[in-house]
Amino acid sequence: MTQIPETDLDTNGATDAEGAQAPPSALKWLTDRLADSTAFIFVALLAMILVFTVLRPDAFATVNNLRNIAIAASILLVLSIGQTFVIGTAGIDISVGSMLVFSGVVASLAMAEVGGGQGWASVGVGVAVSLLAGGFWGMVNGLLVTKVKLPPLIVTLGTFGGVLGLAKVLTGGINLRTVPNELVNTLGIGRAFGVVPWLVILALVLTAIFGVVLRYTRFGRYTLAIGSNEEAARRVGIDVDLHLLKVYTLSGLLAGVAGIMNLARFTNTTIQGHDTDNLQSIAAVVIGGTSLFGGIATMFGTLVGVFIPTTLQNGFVILRIQPFWQEVAVGAVLILAVYVDQLKRRARNRL
């Protein structure tokens, strides 16, 4: 868990801001991690895996099933990376699922224009268009939050509905099915060395990169400084508006990446399938220990937070528990995770 106490800001913002702090030793890093609530949630995930494995070793703990869990989590994970940064600034982005759908729709339209929807050129154009579209809507969110000074909840609630509506306008509400085989056979169903799906590798690589960005770079420290105390961040010379614009744009860009992953996996734009992506990503980020009030965020927590609902769902189906219990369990985990986080914070404030 990374936190920027307000008292640090004077030195941090002015002098340290130029370069990344040297990473602490691996051992210290590990002990730090185990002492915080991310460790709790990680242990909870391991406990779930253990319980499911003991109850149905033949079905749950197979390479194939664990691979399916990882694939099911991968797209939500990419959305949740951006969400972690946004919530880290004490903002919120409920438009992620809509940006994903819009990106996928315009990418599919663009791919149909190039090479008749097949070939690597088509894939390249599709990826570029998807990133541009996602980044564009993210930037619109950022501009509305910083320049028009509207609350992030309202801005992204507006784009949540509006951007999805535009995607439906472009398609007449009918899912587009133009996805090049080159994309489906590699990113969609392909596996590195025949074992690890490329969807999972892409999601994990992005998580690792942005985990480092969040923890060890100026970009990450600015993010948490703004979330901790926006006014203080402004006074020490951080261009808060510019930084928030970058954070919301990043969230949109990652939704664009997720849009391509979604096309590759489902071979169509699945317009109707992303209404709750926003709530799922917010839940994952919060379960992972990121504070909804900003200033505290951890990418490792988000990774675990994404896997908990996915693993629960898979395990519950395998144990043949009535499907509604999964929703109950995820809700309980969310509340429990936030409660544990609160306990920790209270304990820390007393010290």
With CB under 8 A as the contact rule, the residue among 14, 121, 192, 317 that binds another protein is: 317
With CB under 8 A as the contact rule, the residue among 22, 26, 148, 351 that binds another protein is: 351
Give the C-alpha separation, 257 to 75, whole Å.
Answer: 9
Q: In terms of DSSP bridges, do strands 196-197 and 296-297 run parallel, antiparallel, or are they unpaired?
A: unpaired
Of 122-130, 142-150, 170-178, 237-245, the segment contacting another protein by CB under 8 A is: 170-178
Binding mask 244-283 for another protein (x = CB under 8 A): ------------------x---xxx-x-xxxxx-------
Give the C-alpha separation, 98 to 45, whole Å.
Answer: 29
With CB under 8 A as the contact rule, the residue among 131, 133, 333, 334 that binds another protein is: 333
118 contacts another protein (rule: CB under 8 A):
no
The neighbour count for residue 342, using CB atoms within 10 Å, is 12
Of 6-14, 77-85, 107-115, 315-323, the segment contacting another protein by CB under 8 A is: 315-323
Applying the rule CB under 8 A, the residues between 55 and 114 that interact with another protein are 55-56, 58-60, 62, 64-65, 68, 72
58 vs 231, which CB is nearer to another protein? 58
The neighbour count for residue 244, using CB atoms within 10 Å, is 24
55 vs 209, which CB is nearer to another protein? 55
What is the DSSP code string of 3-68?
E--GGGHHHHHHTGGGSPPPPPPHHHHHHHHHHSHHHHHHHHHHHHHHHHHHH-TTTTTSHHHHHH
Give the C-alpha separation, 176 to 167, whole Å.
Answer: 11
Of 18-26, 220-228, 290-298, 325-333, the segment contacting another protein by CB under 8 A is: 325-333
Which residues touch 264 (CB under 8 Å, ≥6 apart)?
179, 183, 184, 186, 187, 188, 199
The neighbour count for residue 72, using CB atoms within 10 Å, is 20
With CB under 8 A as the contact rule, the residue among 132, 166, 232, 336 that binds another protein is: 336
327 contacts another protein (rule: CB under 8 A):
yes
316 contacts another protein (rule: CB under 8 A):
yes
How many residues contact another protein, by CB under 8 A? 59
16 vs 327, which CB is nearer to another protein? 327
194 contacts another protein (rule: CB under 8 A):
no
Q: Which of 186, 227, 262, 253 is nearest to 85 (CA)?
A: 227
252 and 86 Cβ atoms separated by less than 8 Å: no
Summarize as ranges the residues that interact with another protein (CB under 8 A).
35, 39-40, 43-44, 47-48, 51, 55-56, 58-60, 62, 64-65, 68, 72, 172-175, 177, 189, 262, 266-268, 270, 272-276, 310, 313-325, 327-329, 332-333, 336, 340, 343-344, 347, 351
